[in-house]
Amino acid sequence: MNKAIIGRKLGMTQVFTEEGKVIPVTVIEAGPCPVVQVKTLERDGYSAVKLGFDAVDEKKLNKPEAGLFKKTGVPAQKVLKEFKLDGADAMTVGTVITCDTFAAGDKIDVSGVTKGHGFTGVIKRWNNHRLKETHGVGPVHREVGSMGANSSPSRVFKGKKMPGQYGHENVTVLNLEVVKVDKERNAILVKGAVPGPIKGIVTLRNSVKA
């Protein structure tokens, strides 16, 4: 991983190419992200860099986080995320990473926490069909249905698609394309949709499977 940044999803819009084609894009407020901590192979056992995003009052931090910012002298940040970047050992605390780290045409991977839908049934969660609404079926028509034979194997197989918590999980979308970078507004326009609700925190990194 060569470069990464933390951002906030602002919503979707569209841009037009010179040929008149419409490209759906997601607008992401990316950075500025100061380097809060540098982890080295000698001291920590691995090489990584910790970035911050979204300045916040120190009163809203817990004691360990407040102590970290007081020690480094970096303004307090609400969001902290760690990245294993190439050459992280050479980076210095206080360096600010901005959205122009990426350029139009770059392939990136975007990670975020998807929208939470709570406890849902199999129709919404797994796209199951309803049961037949005829005599002898029911009284519930949106249930799971058959769980398997009762004599053999006399149990429900692991992995059975059943009702449960839907959404609110970390998802990464691979090989998205950067359409435009607006440094003045700290904005990156990414082709297509990215995980998460509006104002959700996302991380952008250069693609690992491009």
Q: Three-state SS across 153-168?
A: CCCCCCCCCCCEEEEC
Task: Tell how strand 187-191 and strand 170-182 pair up.
Answer: antiparallel
Rounded Cα gap, residues 110 and 176, in angstroms: 8
Buried b (16+ CB within 10 A) or exposed e, 119-143: eebbeebeeeeeeeeeeeeeeeeee
**Are both 68 and 143 inside the same structural domain?**
no
Q: Kindly report the CATH number assigned to the domain that includes residue 20.
A: 2.40.30.10
**Are both 93 and 177 inside the same structural domain?**
yes
Which H helix or E strand runs over 85? none
- The total of structural domains in the chain comes to 2
Rounded Cα gap, residues 85 and 6, in angstroms: 14
Rounded Cα gap, residues 172 and 168, in angstroms: 13
Structural domain range at position 60: 4-116+171-206
- The single-letter code of the amino acid at 122 is V
pLDDT in tens, the chain (210 residues): 688 999 999 999 999 988 889 999 999 999 799 999 888 888 888 889 999 998 888 888 888 888 888 888 888 889 999 998 887 777 888 888 889 889 988 999 999 999 999 999 999 999 999 999 888 888 899 999 888 888 888 899 999 999 999 999 999 999 999 999 998 899 999 999 999 999 999 999 999 887
Point out which residues pair with 177 in neighbouring strands. Answer: 107
- Asked if omega into 139 is within 30° of 0 (cis), the reply is yes
Q: What is the model's pLDDT at position 187?
A: 92
**Are both 195 and 131 inside the same structural domain?**
no
**Are both 9 and 39 inside the same structural domain?**
yes
**Are both 83 and 157 inside the same structural domain?**
no
